[in-house]
Amino acid sequence: MQRVIILRGTPASGKTTIAKKFRNFEEKVAWLKVDNFKDFFADDSSAALEYVNGAAVATLRYLLDKGFSVVMDGVFQDTAAIDEALKVAESKNVTAKVFELQVSLDTLLDRDKIREGVPEGLRPPLGGETITKIFNKLKENPYPESIPLDTEKNTLDQCIELISKEFEK
């Protein structure tokens, strides 16, 4: 059964970790990381978010046409991209659900220092100011009817199980 899992959360909330756990080429489950499209347009992609999100939604459409289930992960400060992704899934008769990842700000700040690539020196941590700003924006603007997923209290396997159970309903 094809499905679309949309993971919305602050950087370091666990979106990528969860998405990678679901990704499986043999089972036709693709991971669509919206942030990967940012570098296509600009160093500071804030002015290009319409194009970033448009490219991600177009890729979602392509993957669904090819028979893949998709785990789409992003911060989605502007929730219009989520709306578009849900419309695409609905137009293809694919069940889609939005999960809002929940983590305390203190844990996010700790995780930011050890995110993939940071300890190796491949990228700097985002830092407290950026994480706090995004955390507050998402907290003030939750996506309607999203399903809360506490990645601080639940293990990775528990998160996978909770997401999978939502699609059994």
pLDDT digits (tens, 9 = 90+) for 85-136: 999 999 999 999 999 999 999 999 999 888 877 777 777 788 889 899 999 9
Among residues 42, 22, 41, the alpha carbon closest in space to that of 31 is found at 22
Round to whole Å and give the CA distance between 163 and 99.
Answer: 8
Among residues 32, 25, 69, the alpha carbon closest in space to that of 53 is found at 32
Q: Which of 11-25, 40-54, 56-70, 138-152 has the lowest mean pLDDT?
A: 40-54
Per the DSSP assignment, residues forming a β-bridge with 7 are 73, 99
Q: Which residues contact 142 (CB under 8 A, 6 or more apart)?
A: 100
